[in-house]
A and B are shown apart, each in its own frame.
Chain A
Protein backbone atom coordinates (compact mmCIF):
# COMPACT_ATOMS: atom_id res chain seq x y z
CA UNK A 1 0.00 0.00 0.00
CA UNK A 2 1.16 3.53 -0.74
CA UNK A 3 0.09 5.90 2.00
CA UNK A 4 -0.66 9.33 0.53
CA UNK A 5 -1.40 10.99 3.85
CA UNK A 6 0.70 10.83 7.00
CA UNK A 7 2.54 13.28 9.22
CA UNK A 8 5.85 13.43 11.06
CA UNK A 9 7.33 15.62 13.74
CA UNK A 10 6.34 16.77 17.20
CA UNK A 11 2.71 17.58 17.85
CA UNK A 12 0.23 17.66 20.72
CA UNK A 13 -1.95 14.70 19.81
CA UNK A 14 0.51 11.86 19.32
CA UNK A 15 3.70 10.45 20.79
CA UNK A 16 5.01 9.06 17.50
CA UNK A 17 7.11 11.91 16.14
CA UNK A 18 10.31 10.64 14.53
CA UNK A 19 10.65 9.41 10.96
CA UNK A 20 12.05 6.08 12.17
CA UNK A 21 9.16 5.40 14.53
CA UNK A 22 6.60 6.43 11.91
CA UNK A 23 8.22 4.24 9.27
CA UNK A 24 8.22 1.24 11.60
CA UNK A 25 4.55 1.85 12.42
CA UNK A 26 3.57 2.07 8.76
CA UNK A 27 5.68 -0.82 7.54
CA UNK A 28 4.10 -3.07 10.17
CA UNK A 29 0.76 -2.52 8.43
CA UNK A 30 2.00 -3.15 4.90
CA UNK A 31 2.81 0.39 3.78
CA UNK A 32 5.70 0.36 1.30
CA UNK A 33 5.86 4.11 0.62
CA UNK A 34 4.40 7.13 2.36
CA UNK A 35 3.78 10.76 1.43
CA UNK A 36 4.63 12.59 4.62
CA UNK A 37 3.86 16.15 5.71
CA UNK A 38 5.23 18.11 8.66
CA UNK A 39 3.16 17.73 11.81
CA UNK A 40 4.22 21.06 13.37
CA UNK A 41 2.86 22.98 10.39
CA UNK A 42 -0.64 21.76 11.28
CA UNK A 43 -0.39 23.58 14.60
CA UNK A 44 1.45 26.72 13.54
CA UNK A 45 4.71 25.29 14.84
CA UNK A 46 8.26 25.70 13.57
CA UNK A 47 9.58 24.24 10.34
CA UNK A 48 10.37 20.54 10.50
CA UNK A 49 12.77 18.90 8.04
CA UNK A 50 10.89 16.28 6.09
CA UNK A 51 12.54 12.94 5.50
CA UNK A 52 13.16 11.91 1.91
CA UNK A 53 14.03 8.29 1.23
CA UNK A 54 12.92 5.23 -0.65
CA UNK A 55 10.10 5.06 1.89
CA UNK A 56 9.15 8.69 2.51
CA UNK A 57 8.03 11.16 -0.14
CA UNK A 58 8.07 14.69 1.31
CA UNK A 59 4.89 16.74 0.93
CA UNK A 60 5.26 20.24 2.40
CA UNK A 61 2.32 22.06 3.91
CA UNK A 62 1.95 25.36 2.09
CA UNK A 63 0.52 28.59 3.46
CA UNK A 64 -1.49 30.34 0.75
CA UNK A 65 0.22 33.58 -0.19
CA UNK A 66 3.69 32.33 0.70
CA UNK A 67 6.23 31.22 -1.87
CA UNK A 68 6.81 27.50 -1.93
CA UNK A 69 8.82 24.77 -3.54
CA UNK A 70 8.50 21.01 -3.34
CA UNK A 71 11.03 18.20 -3.54
CA UNK A 72 8.24 15.66 -4.02
CA UNK A 73 5.21 15.35 -6.28
CA UNK A 74 2.70 17.30 -4.18
CA UNK A 75 1.98 20.03 -1.66
CA UNK A 76 -0.72 20.09 1.00
CA UNK A 77 -2.86 23.01 2.20
CA UNK A 78 -4.92 23.20 5.39
CA UNK A 79 -7.13 26.15 4.55
CA UNK A 80 -9.34 27.11 1.66
CA UNK A 81 -8.66 30.84 1.85
CA UNK A 82 -6.24 31.75 -0.92
CA UNK A 83 -5.75 28.10 -1.82
CA UNK A 84 -6.97 28.51 -5.39
CA UNK A 85 -3.76 30.37 -6.20
CA UNK A 86 -1.77 27.50 -4.70
CA UNK A 87 -3.68 25.07 -6.87
CA UNK A 88 -2.94 27.19 -9.93
CA UNK A 89 0.74 27.28 -9.01
CA UNK A 90 0.70 23.52 -8.58
CA UNK A 91 -0.57 23.27 -12.14
CA UNK A 92 2.28 25.42 -13.40
CA UNK A 93 4.84 23.40 -11.43
CA UNK A 94 3.42 19.98 -12.29
CA UNK A 95 2.50 19.24 -8.68
CA UNK A 96 -0.47 17.48 -7.13
CA UNK A 97 -2.56 19.74 -4.90
CA UNK A 98 -3.73 18.12 -1.63
CA UNK A 99 -6.49 19.76 0.38
CA UNK A 100 -6.55 18.56 4.00
CA UNK A 101 -10.20 18.95 5.01
CA UNK A 102 -9.70 18.02 8.62
CA UNK A 103 -7.12 16.70 11.02
CA UNK A 104 -9.16 15.46 13.98
CA UNK A 105 -12.69 14.99 15.24
CA UNK A 106 -13.65 18.47 16.48
CA UNK A 107 -15.71 16.92 19.27
CA UNK A 108 -12.53 15.59 20.84
CA UNK A 109 -9.84 18.23 20.45
CA UNK A 110 -9.44 21.55 22.26
CA UNK A 111 -10.50 24.51 20.15
CA UNK A 112 -7.25 26.32 20.97
CA UNK A 113 -5.33 23.86 18.79
CA UNK A 114 -6.85 25.69 15.83
CA UNK A 115 -7.74 22.57 13.87
CA UNK A 116 -10.72 24.05 12.07
CA UNK A 117 -12.20 21.94 9.29
CA UNK A 118 -12.38 23.20 5.73
CA UNK A 119 -16.07 23.60 4.91
CA UNK A 120 -17.72 21.52 2.23
CA UNK A 121 -18.67 24.54 0.05
CA UNK A 122 -15.08 25.79 0.16
CA UNK A 123 -13.77 22.31 -0.65
CA UNK A 124 -16.22 22.01 -3.54
CA UNK A 125 -15.20 25.37 -4.95
CA UNK A 126 -11.53 24.36 -4.82
CA UNK A 127 -12.28 21.00 -6.38
CA UNK A 128 -13.98 22.68 -9.34
CA UNK A 129 -11.31 25.34 -9.80
CA UNK A 130 -8.37 24.70 -12.11
CA UNK A 131 -9.82 21.42 -13.36
CA UNK A 132 -6.62 20.40 -15.11
CA UNK A 133 -4.65 20.25 -11.88
CA UNK A 134 -4.69 16.91 -10.06
CA UNK A 135 -6.09 17.31 -6.58
CA UNK A 136 -6.46 14.96 -3.62
CA UNK A 137 -9.10 15.59 -0.99
CA UNK A 138 -7.70 14.31 2.31
CA UNK A 139 -9.47 13.83 5.62
CA UNK A 140 -13.01 13.88 4.24
CA UNK A 141 -15.93 12.07 5.85
CA UNK A 142 -18.13 9.96 3.60
CA UNK A 143 -20.81 12.60 2.86
CA UNK A 144 -18.12 15.14 1.97
CA UNK A 145 -16.24 12.66 -0.16
CA UNK A 146 -19.43 11.71 -1.99
CA UNK A 147 -20.42 15.32 -2.64
CA UNK A 148 -16.98 16.37 -3.84
CA UNK A 149 -16.27 13.42 -6.12
CA UNK A 150 -19.76 13.62 -7.60
CA UNK A 151 -19.42 17.29 -8.44
CA UNK A 152 -15.74 17.59 -9.31
CA UNK A 153 -13.83 16.70 -12.47
CA UNK A 154 -12.02 13.39 -12.74
CA UNK A 155 -8.76 15.11 -11.83
CA UNK A 156 -10.00 15.14 -8.24
CA UNK A 157 -9.20 12.11 -6.07
CA UNK A 158 -10.00 11.25 -2.46
CA UNK A 159 -8.00 9.44 0.16
CA UNK A 160 -10.02 7.39 2.62
CA UNK A 161 -8.35 7.67 6.03
CA UNK A 162 -11.17 9.58 7.76
CA UNK A 163 -14.01 8.17 5.69
CA UNK A 164 -15.78 5.59 7.78
CA UNK A 165 -18.91 3.50 7.47
CA UNK A 166 -19.41 -0.23 7.02
CA UNK A 167 -17.92 -1.41 3.70
CA UNK A 168 -16.58 2.11 3.13
CA UNK A 169 -13.96 1.24 0.53
CA UNK A 170 -16.22 -1.07 -1.44
CA UNK A 171 -19.06 1.45 -1.47
CA UNK A 172 -16.72 4.25 -2.55
CA UNK A 173 -15.40 2.09 -5.39
CA UNK A 174 -18.92 1.23 -6.52
CA UNK A 175 -20.03 4.86 -6.32
CA UNK A 176 -17.03 6.72 -7.70
CA UNK A 177 -14.81 4.13 -9.35
CA UNK A 178 -11.54 2.69 -8.13
CA UNK A 179 -9.63 5.13 -10.35
CA UNK A 180 -10.48 8.08 -8.07
CA UNK A 181 -9.56 6.61 -4.69
CA UNK A 182 -6.34 6.44 -2.72
CA UNK A 183 -5.33 5.01 0.63
CA UNK A 184 -4.08 7.24 3.41
CA UNK A 185 -3.39 6.25 6.98
CA UNK A 186 -3.53 9.67 8.65
CA UNK A 187 -0.82 8.28 10.91
CA UNK A 188 0.28 8.91 13.54
CA UNK A 189 -3.04 10.43 14.56
CA UNK A 190 -4.77 7.18 13.59
CA UNK A 191 -3.59 3.62 13.78
CA UNK A 192 -2.49 2.58 10.28
CA UNK A 193 -4.07 -0.79 10.97
CA UNK A 194 -7.37 0.90 10.11
CA UNK A 195 -6.39 1.56 6.50
CA UNK A 196 -5.18 -2.00 6.10
CA UNK A 197 -8.35 -3.43 7.65
CA UNK A 198 -10.68 -1.23 5.57
CA UNK A 199 -8.99 -2.30 2.38
CA UNK A 200 -8.91 -5.96 3.39
CA UNK A 201 -12.63 -5.87 4.21
CA UNK A 202 -13.56 -4.31 0.86
CA UNK A 203 -13.74 -7.52 -1.22
CA UNK A 204 -12.38 -5.73 -4.30
CA UNK A 205 -11.27 -7.36 -7.53
CA UNK A 206 -7.47 -7.63 -7.86
CA UNK A 207 -7.48 -4.75 -10.35
CA UNK A 208 -9.58 -2.53 -8.09
CA UNK A 209 -7.45 -3.42 -5.09
CA UNK A 210 -4.25 -2.57 -6.92
CA UNK A 211 -5.67 0.73 -8.16
CA UNK A 212 -6.81 1.90 -4.75
CA UNK A 213 -3.87 0.59 -2.76
CA UNK A 214 -0.98 1.77 -4.95
CA UNK A 215 -1.48 2.16 -8.70
CA UNK A 216 -3.40 5.44 -8.56
CA UNK A 217 -0.83 6.84 -6.17
CA UNK A 218 2.01 5.76 -8.45
CA UNK A 219 0.31 7.41 -11.41
CA UNK A 220 0.24 10.67 -9.44
CA UNK A 221 3.97 10.43 -8.79
CA UNK A 222 3.99 9.05 -5.26
Chain B
Protein backbone atom coordinates (compact mmCIF):
# COMPACT_ATOMS: atom_id res chain seq x y z
CA UNK B 1 0.00 0.00 0.00
CA UNK B 2 1.44 3.36 -0.99
CA UNK B 3 0.78 6.66 0.69
CA UNK B 4 -2.86 7.27 1.47
CA UNK B 5 -4.89 10.48 1.39
CA UNK B 6 -7.85 10.64 3.74
CA UNK B 7 -10.28 13.04 2.08
CA UNK B 8 -12.63 13.43 5.04
CA UNK B 9 -11.60 14.39 8.57
CA UNK B 10 -12.65 16.90 11.21
CA UNK B 11 -11.22 19.15 13.89
CA UNK B 12 -12.89 21.25 16.59
CA UNK B 13 -16.62 20.78 16.97
CA UNK B 14 -16.31 19.49 20.51
CA UNK B 15 -14.74 16.32 19.13
CA UNK B 16 -12.31 14.89 21.63
CA UNK B 17 -8.67 13.86 21.27
CA UNK B 18 -7.96 10.23 22.11
CA UNK B 19 -4.28 10.17 23.07
CA UNK B 20 -3.26 13.64 24.16
CA UNK B 21 -4.90 16.97 24.86
CA UNK B 22 -4.84 17.98 21.21
CA UNK B 23 -7.07 16.61 18.48
CA UNK B 24 -4.80 17.62 15.59
CA UNK B 25 -1.82 15.95 17.27
CA UNK B 26 -3.75 12.71 17.68
CA UNK B 27 -5.18 12.81 14.19
CA UNK B 28 -1.75 13.30 12.62
CA UNK B 29 -0.05 10.67 14.80
CA UNK B 30 -2.71 8.03 14.18
CA UNK B 31 -2.78 8.76 10.46
CA UNK B 32 0.99 8.36 10.23
CA UNK B 33 0.81 4.96 11.92
CA UNK B 34 -1.73 3.83 9.35
CA UNK B 35 0.19 5.09 6.35
CA UNK B 36 -2.13 8.04 5.80
CA UNK B 37 0.10 10.77 4.41
CA UNK B 38 -2.42 13.61 4.26
CA UNK B 39 -5.84 14.22 5.81
CA UNK B 40 -8.30 16.80 4.48
CA UNK B 41 -9.89 18.42 7.51
CA UNK B 42 -12.75 20.79 8.17
CA UNK B 43 -14.13 22.27 11.36
CA UNK B 44 -17.90 22.50 11.77
CA UNK B 45 -17.92 24.59 14.93
CA UNK B 46 -15.60 25.53 17.75
CA UNK B 47 -17.19 23.63 20.64
CA UNK B 48 -19.99 21.72 18.91
CA UNK B 49 -21.00 20.75 15.39
CA UNK B 50 -23.06 23.70 14.14
CA UNK B 51 -25.90 22.90 11.76
CA UNK B 52 -26.62 26.56 11.05
CA UNK B 53 -23.39 28.48 11.71
CA UNK B 54 -23.50 32.25 11.62
CA UNK B 55 -20.78 34.39 9.98
CA UNK B 56 -18.72 34.71 13.14
CA UNK B 57 -19.03 31.01 13.84
CA UNK B 58 -17.85 30.15 10.33
CA UNK B 59 -14.83 32.40 10.81
CA UNK B 60 -14.00 30.88 14.18
CA UNK B 61 -14.40 27.33 12.92
CA UNK B 62 -12.21 27.89 9.88
CA UNK B 63 -9.58 29.56 12.05
CA UNK B 64 -9.21 26.24 13.91
CA UNK B 65 -8.58 24.43 10.64
CA UNK B 66 -6.15 27.13 9.51
CA UNK B 67 -4.13 26.92 12.72
CA UNK B 68 -3.86 23.15 12.46
CA UNK B 69 -2.85 23.28 8.80
CA UNK B 70 -0.20 25.83 9.67
CA UNK B 71 1.18 23.47 12.34
CA UNK B 72 1.04 20.42 10.09
CA UNK B 73 1.33 21.65 6.49
CA UNK B 74 2.56 18.28 5.24
CA UNK B 75 0.02 16.11 7.06
CA UNK B 76 -3.15 18.20 6.91
CA UNK B 77 -4.97 20.17 4.24
CA UNK B 78 -7.92 22.43 4.91
CA UNK B 79 -11.49 22.45 3.67
CA UNK B 80 -13.28 25.72 4.36
CA UNK B 81 -16.66 25.37 6.10
CA UNK B 82 -19.34 27.39 4.33
CA UNK B 83 -23.07 28.03 4.69
CA UNK B 84 -25.44 29.03 1.88
CA UNK B 85 -27.49 30.78 4.56
CA UNK B 86 -24.67 33.34 4.71
CA UNK B 87 -23.39 33.75 1.16
CA UNK B 88 -21.42 36.95 1.73
CA UNK B 89 -19.59 35.60 4.75
CA UNK B 90 -19.04 32.29 2.97
CA UNK B 91 -17.53 33.97 -0.09
CA UNK B 92 -15.29 35.95 2.23
CA UNK B 93 -14.16 32.75 3.94
CA UNK B 94 -13.53 31.15 0.57
CA UNK B 95 -11.39 34.12 -0.43
CA UNK B 96 -9.51 34.14 2.88
CA UNK B 97 -8.68 30.45 3.02
CA UNK B 98 -8.68 29.21 -0.59
CA UNK B 99 -7.89 32.18 -2.84
CA UNK B 100 -5.45 33.80 -0.43
CA UNK B 101 -4.72 30.79 1.76
CA UNK B 102 -3.62 27.16 1.57
CA UNK B 103 -7.01 25.40 1.80
CA UNK B 104 -7.80 22.95 -0.99
CA UNK B 105 -11.60 22.66 -0.96
CA UNK B 106 -14.89 23.53 0.70
CA UNK B 107 -17.22 21.70 3.05
CA UNK B 108 -20.99 21.98 3.40
CA UNK B 109 -23.02 20.10 5.95
CA UNK B 110 -26.74 20.51 6.64
CA UNK B 111 -27.51 24.23 6.70
CA UNK B 112 -29.56 23.78 3.53
CA UNK B 113 -30.23 20.83 1.27
CA UNK B 114 -27.82 20.40 -1.60
CA UNK B 115 -30.50 21.01 -4.21
CA UNK B 116 -31.51 24.33 -2.65
CA UNK B 117 -31.11 27.33 -4.99
CA UNK B 118 -29.19 29.15 -2.27
CA UNK B 119 -26.35 26.76 -3.04
CA UNK B 120 -25.84 28.27 -6.48
CA UNK B 121 -23.80 31.32 -5.59
CA UNK B 122 -21.26 29.22 -3.71
CA UNK B 123 -21.27 26.47 -6.32
CA UNK B 124 -20.58 28.99 -9.10
CA UNK B 125 -17.64 30.44 -7.22
CA UNK B 126 -16.22 26.98 -6.50
CA UNK B 127 -16.55 26.12 -10.18
CA UNK B 128 -14.65 29.29 -11.11
CA UNK B 129 -11.90 28.41 -8.69
CA UNK B 130 -11.86 24.74 -9.75
CA UNK B 131 -12.16 23.79 -6.09
CA UNK B 132 -14.08 20.67 -5.02
CA UNK B 133 -16.98 20.67 -2.60
CA UNK B 134 -17.34 18.04 0.12
CA UNK B 135 -21.10 17.72 0.59
CA UNK B 136 -22.76 15.67 3.33
CA UNK B 137 -25.46 13.22 2.22
CA UNK B 138 -27.25 10.18 3.68
CA UNK B 139 -30.37 8.12 3.10
CA UNK B 140 -31.53 7.69 6.68
CA UNK B 141 -34.35 5.43 7.78
CA UNK B 142 -34.41 7.09 11.21
CA UNK B 143 -32.76 10.09 12.88
CA UNK B 144 -32.70 12.24 9.78
CA UNK B 145 -31.72 15.81 10.59
CA UNK B 146 -33.67 18.80 9.26
CA UNK B 147 -32.31 19.92 5.87
CA UNK B 148 -30.02 16.91 5.70
CA UNK B 149 -29.28 16.13 2.05
CA UNK B 150 -29.86 12.83 0.36
CA UNK B 151 -27.83 11.63 -2.62
CA UNK B 152 -30.78 12.67 -4.81
CA UNK B 153 -30.37 16.23 -3.52
CA UNK B 154 -26.71 16.12 -4.45
CA UNK B 155 -27.59 15.10 -8.00
CA UNK B 156 -29.70 18.26 -8.33
CA UNK B 157 -26.66 20.34 -7.47
CA UNK B 158 -24.47 18.31 -9.82
CA UNK B 159 -26.95 18.72 -12.67
CA UNK B 160 -27.07 22.50 -12.30
CA UNK B 161 -23.29 22.76 -11.89
CA UNK B 162 -21.64 20.18 -14.15
CA UNK B 163 -18.30 21.96 -13.79
CA UNK B 164 -18.27 21.55 -10.01
CA UNK B 165 -16.49 18.50 -8.59
CA UNK B 166 -18.54 17.20 -5.69
CA UNK B 167 -17.20 14.76 -3.14
CA UNK B 168 -20.41 13.30 -1.79
CA UNK B 169 -19.76 12.14 1.76
CA UNK B 170 -20.77 8.82 3.23
CA UNK B 171 -20.98 5.86 0.91
CA UNK B 172 -22.04 4.03 4.05
CA UNK B 173 -25.11 6.23 4.28
CA UNK B 174 -25.83 6.41 0.57
CA UNK B 175 -26.02 2.67 0.10
CA UNK B 176 -26.78 1.09 -3.25
CA UNK B 177 -29.67 3.48 -3.80
CA UNK B 178 -27.40 6.47 -3.43
CA UNK B 179 -24.77 4.97 -5.70
CA UNK B 180 -27.43 4.40 -8.34
CA UNK B 181 -28.62 8.00 -7.94
CA UNK B 182 -25.24 9.53 -8.60
CA UNK B 183 -24.10 7.13 -11.32
CA UNK B 184 -25.26 9.39 -14.21
CA UNK B 185 -23.38 12.42 -12.83
CA UNK B 186 -19.65 12.16 -13.55
CA UNK B 187 -18.89 15.24 -11.45
CA UNK B 188 -19.92 13.41 -8.26
CA UNK B 189 -17.34 11.26 -6.50
CA UNK B 190 -18.45 9.36 -3.39
CA UNK B 191 -16.26 9.05 -0.33
CA UNK B 192 -16.06 5.80 1.61
CA UNK B 193 -16.97 7.24 5.01
CA UNK B 194 -20.18 6.70 6.90
CA UNK B 195 -21.40 3.93 9.13
CA UNK B 196 -19.94 0.51 9.78
CA UNK B 197 -17.44 -1.25 7.47
CA UNK B 198 -20.15 -3.08 5.55
CA UNK B 199 -18.85 -5.96 3.46
CA UNK B 200 -19.11 -5.37 -0.27
CA UNK B 201 -19.97 -1.68 -0.11
CA UNK B 202 -16.77 -0.33 -1.66
CA UNK B 203 -16.57 -3.22 -4.13
CA UNK B 204 -20.07 -2.40 -5.37
CA UNK B 205 -19.41 1.33 -5.62
CA UNK B 206 -16.26 0.80 -7.67
CA UNK B 207 -17.99 -1.73 -9.91
CA UNK B 208 -20.89 0.67 -10.51
CA UNK B 209 -19.19 4.04 -10.69
CA UNK B 210 -15.66 3.12 -11.70
CA UNK B 211 -12.64 3.38 -9.44
CA UNK B 212 -12.12 7.01 -10.50
CA UNK B 213 -15.31 8.00 -8.67
CA UNK B 214 -14.68 6.52 -5.22
CA UNK B 215 -12.33 8.27 -2.81
CA UNK B 216 -11.12 7.21 0.62
CA UNK B 217 -12.52 9.20 3.53
CA UNK B 218 -12.64 8.18 7.17
CA UNK B 219 -14.65 10.89 8.92
CA UNK B 220 -12.02 10.80 11.66
CA UNK B 221 -12.44 11.33 14.64
CA UNK B 222 -16.14 10.54 14.41
CA UNK B 223 -15.12 7.15 13.04
CA UNK B 224 -11.95 5.08 13.43
CA UNK B 225 -9.49 5.59 10.57
CA UNK B 226 -8.19 2.01 10.87
CA UNK B 227 -11.68 0.62 10.45
CA UNK B 228 -12.32 3.08 7.62
CA UNK B 229 -9.19 1.92 5.86
CA UNK B 230 -10.34 -1.68 6.23
CA UNK B 231 -13.34 -0.87 4.04
CA UNK B 232 -10.96 -0.28 1.14
CA UNK B 233 -8.29 -2.83 2.02
CA UNK B 234 -10.96 -5.52 2.46
CA UNK B 235 -12.70 -4.71 -0.82
CA UNK B 236 -12.31 -6.81 -3.96
CA UNK B 237 -10.27 -4.33 -6.00
CA UNK B 238 -7.29 -4.51 -8.28
CA UNK B 239 -4.11 -2.84 -7.08
CA UNK B 240 -4.71 -0.09 -9.61
CA UNK B 241 -8.28 0.51 -8.41
CA UNK B 242 -7.19 0.54 -4.78
CA UNK B 243 -4.46 3.07 -5.53
CA UNK B 244 -6.99 5.36 -7.17
CA UNK B 245 -9.37 5.15 -4.22
CA UNK B 246 -6.67 5.60 -1.60
CA UNK B 247 -4.67 8.34 -3.27
CA UNK B 248 -4.96 8.97 -6.99
CA UNK B 249 -8.48 10.32 -7.04
CA UNK B 250 -7.87 12.79 -4.23
CA UNK B 251 -4.78 14.11 -5.99
CA UNK B 252 -6.71 14.48 -9.23
CA UNK B 253 -9.69 16.23 -7.61
CA UNK B 254 -7.88 18.47 -5.16
CA UNK B 255 -5.42 20.12 -7.51
CA UNK B 256 -4.10 22.39 -4.76
CA UNK B 257 -2.81 19.37 -2.83
CA UNK B 258 0.18 18.96 -5.08
Contact = CB atoms under 8 A, between A and B. Distances in A.
Interface of A: 14-16, 25, 29, 104-111, 162, 164-168, 171, 186-194, 196-198, 200-201, 203
A198 B199 contact: no
A188 B138 contact: no
B19 A167 contact: yes
Contacts of A14: 199-200
A191 B141 contact: no
Most chain A C-beta atoms within 10 Å of own C-beta, residue among B26, B33, B200, B230 = B230
B199 A16 contact: yes
A167 B34 CA distance: 11
A166 B229 contact: no
B248 interface: no
Interface residues of B, number: 34
B199 A171 contact: no
The majority secondary structure among interface residues of chain A is loop
Contact of A189 (B18, B30, B199): B199
A117 to B, nearest CB: 11
Interface string B196-238: 1111100000000000000000001101111101110111000
A201 B198 contact: no
Contacts of A107: 138, 140-143, 173, 195
Given A111-B142, A198-B224, 15 more contacts: A25-B199, A105-B196, A106-B143, A107-B138, A107-B142, A108-B140, A162-B196, A164-B224, A191-B199, A193-B230, A193-B234, A194-B196, A197-B227, A197-B229, A201-B226
B195 A168 contact: no
Contacts of A191: 197-200, 230-231, 234-235
B18 A194 contact: no
B172 interface: yes
A190 B138 contact: no
Contacts of A162: 196
A198 B227 contact: yes
B141 A194 contact: no
Nearest to B141: A107
A196 B138 contact: no
Given A171-B18, A200-B226, A108 B26 contact: no
A187 B196 CA distance: 12
A197 B230 contact: yes
Nearest to B232: A193
Interface string B229-253: 1110111000000000000000000
A189 B227 contact: no
Contacts of A15: 200
B84 interface: no
